[in-house]
Chain A
Amino acid sequence: MNKILLLGDEAIALGAIDGGLSGVFAYPGTPSTEITEYIQASKEAKALGIKSEWSTNEKTAMETGIGMSYAGKKAMVCMKHVGLNVAADAFMNSAITGTNGGLVVVSADDPSMHSSQNEQDSRFYGKFAMIPILEPTNQQEAYNMAYYGLTLSEKFGTPVMIRVTTRLAHSRSGVERKERIPQNKMHLPGDHNQFILLPAMARKSYSGLLGKQSAFESDSETAGFNTFYDGDDKSLGIIACGLTYNYLIENFEEGKVPYPVLKIGQYPTPSAMVNSLYEAVDEILVLEEGAPLVEEMLRGLLNKGKKIRGRMEGSLPRAGELNPNLVAQALGMPVSEGYEIPSVIKGRPPVLCDGCPHIDSFEALNDAMKPFGRGHVFSDIGCYTLSALKPLESIDSCVDMGASITMAVGAAESGLSPAIAVIGDSTFTHSGMTGLLDAVVKQVAITVFILDNATVGMTGGQRSAALGRIEDICKGIGVEEAHIRVVKPLRRLHDENLAIYEEEIAYNGVSVIIPRRECVQTLSKRMKLKAFEKRNKK
């Protein structure tokens, strides 16, 4: 059989395409971005007419997915873990409405926070919503689960979550394809009230969801993603969730673990399988990436049964990504070591690219803020957040996407003056616009910098929904036209720009400054492509 080399993310994308997908809806976010990018670049997906344009944020993506499911087609919604916070209202309620066409929600977690502000574990959301969760061990399972997940969702009439973590999302291995399932034809839900969550109808739908729980669990026990491997040494039983199974078997010759092992890839947690493991062994070690979700369930509040070991109990670290060595340690096996890292090594944190427009924007802002000292600049999430580090050290906050404007409003309402917000163009349309409306309605004095580099830079240069629309949006929201100022962030225009910054910071109302210059990465990519096309024409 022919195997294709795919990232875990790409395997999910291809599995969904082959599983009969009609549309992927997503907002970029590491480590989930490559799922949608794969579908966008796929000629096959294009020929099949699969929709794949970026959404403005995760909530609009989730709702668009629900809409496609309503219309009877199979949809997939993808985001990074914190994106699910943004989509949570739609997500939780989609579990109540249930689905018509299959609906898979992929949430990509980032343990160790390689590119994130926290390491929340999306399985809690799946459990919270009471829907099935699939968690792949490897790239092939990632493919299989996306393929199967769309069908499973249709079978139960419920959204299905796929949870991946950075390591699998961004690791490549060979994947075998299955036969492609044709897309659904558009068809409306049979029950006209299914998607109307008025209390009377919602109560009925909710009891429907509760009623499905035992079926979800029996699928967990039988579908094949949860597997029991017996072992002779019953002094220990191991539960390995998702890719932690790889770290476990890595530690044994030929992958032969002497202990009984329950590999979990589908939730709700299969209680019958867990129970038979528990009965057979002296103690249990739970391996799971992220939070101790399964471990906590097994221990319970009173923790009176057999010993349950894991991240909560302390055999494994409570925070951060697992690896083969940590698992070896938890098993009491010798841990391999390399050389000691010499002390001459220095840290090398990420930095803004040479020539990045944000550098010029912040150099002028730093000068404008000199008279006021630090503590006035609320920022947001994007490449420009790197201005928190040396040498710029320009900003004082980065909490969640969109929070710059609203935090500035709150601080201004407390008497902080000046109160400055700094937000990227994509973050502005993601969730800054509503905050700007708050500012206008509350008539507070804030100055908002919308750093327009014409792309979603941080995640690799995706199309920004803000492109060509920012001034109109600000005007429409009610910012006075005279206080919407566009500047070009360049070193040689520093003094000119600084004067404009100072003017608007002094203004006692809502003002918006838009430093506009393209990201040098996307610019150079565009130039290379142009040169390539020119060469090929000749």
Chain B
Amino acid sequence: MHNHKQMKKDIILGGVGGQGILTIATTIGTAALLEGLYLKQSEVHGMSQRGGDVQAHLRISSKPIASDLIAAGKADMVISVEPMESLRYVNMLNKESGWLITSMNPFKNIPDYPTIEDLLKEIWKLPRYITIDAEKTAKDAGSIRAANIIILGAAAPFIGLKYESFEQAIRAIFAKKGDDIINMNLKALKMGFDYAQKHQ
């Protein structure tokens, strides 16, 4: 266990149903528990999982947490696996200090999906953001399926947990899948992390 004097991070996770944002939530949650922190994680189940927009609220803190929902304007981070979905939650971001971390890879399942240029223009107006081509980076790491972990890696520098805790969490979560998958995801975590360090 690890003693944090004072820490609190309120994180909104965004994506499209089926994209697996809960893997990111579970990894951060596991890392937070490894450090002995409190946690509340509000998930989306049901209807909207069918290709609709989905969000999860993840709260970690050194003190007990009251609300399962984060208040609008109070989120420390929006982490999204899809660029349009990241913008859907900017109303949740803390304007003084909030970071937006998102993949640049659009998921187009609606006819009126905006252009990526228009989306990036809006994202890049924010004072604090990381945009990353998660799919390409994941391919470089070994599999496009690690795109979520790339995003997690890119968010990791801002979460306030130790890097080793994320590594430990990934080992625990992917334990059943074998060493190859674990190592590939560790590599993805590192690549995302390094990218964010370079581009913040």
Contacts and interface: CB of A to CB of B under 8 A. Distances in A.
Nearest to A336: B73
B154 to A, nearest CB: 20
B39 interface: yes
Interface in B1-58: 16-18, 29, 33, 38-53, 57
A341 B51 contact: no
A323 B46 CA distance: 20
A145 interface: no
B83 to A, nearest CB: 10
A363 interface: no
Interface stretch (B87-95, B134-142, B145-153, B166-174): B87-95
A255 B85 CA distance: 32
B113 to A, nearest CB: 6
A341 B114 contact: no
Given A325-B71, A338-B90, A346-B84, A114 B47 contact: yes
A349 B52 contact: yes
A322 B113 CA distance: 30
Contacts of B114: 344-346
B125 to A, nearest CB: 8
A493 to B, nearest CB: 24
A128 interface: no
Interface string A1-33: 000010100000000000000000000001101
A533 interface: no
A338 B98 contact: yes
Contacts of B73: 325, 335-338
A171 B46 contact: no
Contacts of A341: 87-88, 90-91
Interface residues of A, number: 50
Contacts of B196: none
A201 B18 CA distance: 54
B29 A167 contact: no
B72 A336 contact: yes
Contacts of A383: 50
A412 interface: no
B179 interface: no
B10 to A, nearest CB: 11
A295 to B, nearest CB: 21
Interface string A245-280: 011011100010000000000000000000000000
B68 A350 contact: no
Contacts of B118: 344
A115 B43 CA distance: 13
A174 B38 contact: yes
A249 B66 contact: yes
B43 A170 contact: yes
A188 interface: no
B119 interface: yes
Interface string A338-353: 1111101111111111
Contact of B71 (A33, A34, A328, A352): A328
B112 interface: yes
Contacts of A458: 46-47
Nearest to B48: A350
A5 B29 contact: yes
Contact of B68 (A5, A243, A328): A243
B69 A247 contact: yes
A353 B50 contact: yes
B61 to A, nearest CB: 11
A417 interface: no
A350 B47 contact: yes
B119 A31 contact: no
Contacts of A247: 66-67, 69
Interface in A481-518: none
B43 A172 contact: yes
Interface in A315-335: 323-325, 328, 335
B91 A250 contact: no
B75 interface: yes
A7 B40 CA distance: 9
Interface string B157-198: 000000000000000000000000000000000000000000
A173 interface: yes
A171 B68 contact: yes
Nearest to A3: B33
Interface string A418-448: 0000000000000000000000000000000
A338 B87 contact: no
Nearest to B73: A336
| Central interface residue in B18, B68, B73, B74, by most chain A CB within 10 Å | B68
A30 B75 contact: no
Contacts of B85: 348
B48 A115 contact: yes
A324 B84 CA distance: 25
A532 to B, nearest CB: 8
Given A323-B69, A338-B72, 13 more contacts: A115-B48, A250-B67, A325-B71, A337-B73, A337-B91, A337-B95, A339-B90, A341-B91, A346-B84, A348-B52, A351-B52, A352-B51, A460-B49
By Cβ-Cβ distance, the 5 closest A-B pairs, closest first, are A336-B73, A115-B46, A30-B46, A350-B52, A115-B47
10 contacts: A31-B45, A171-B57, A173-B41, A246-B68, A247-B69, A338-B73, A344-B118, A344-B122, A350-B17, A460-B49
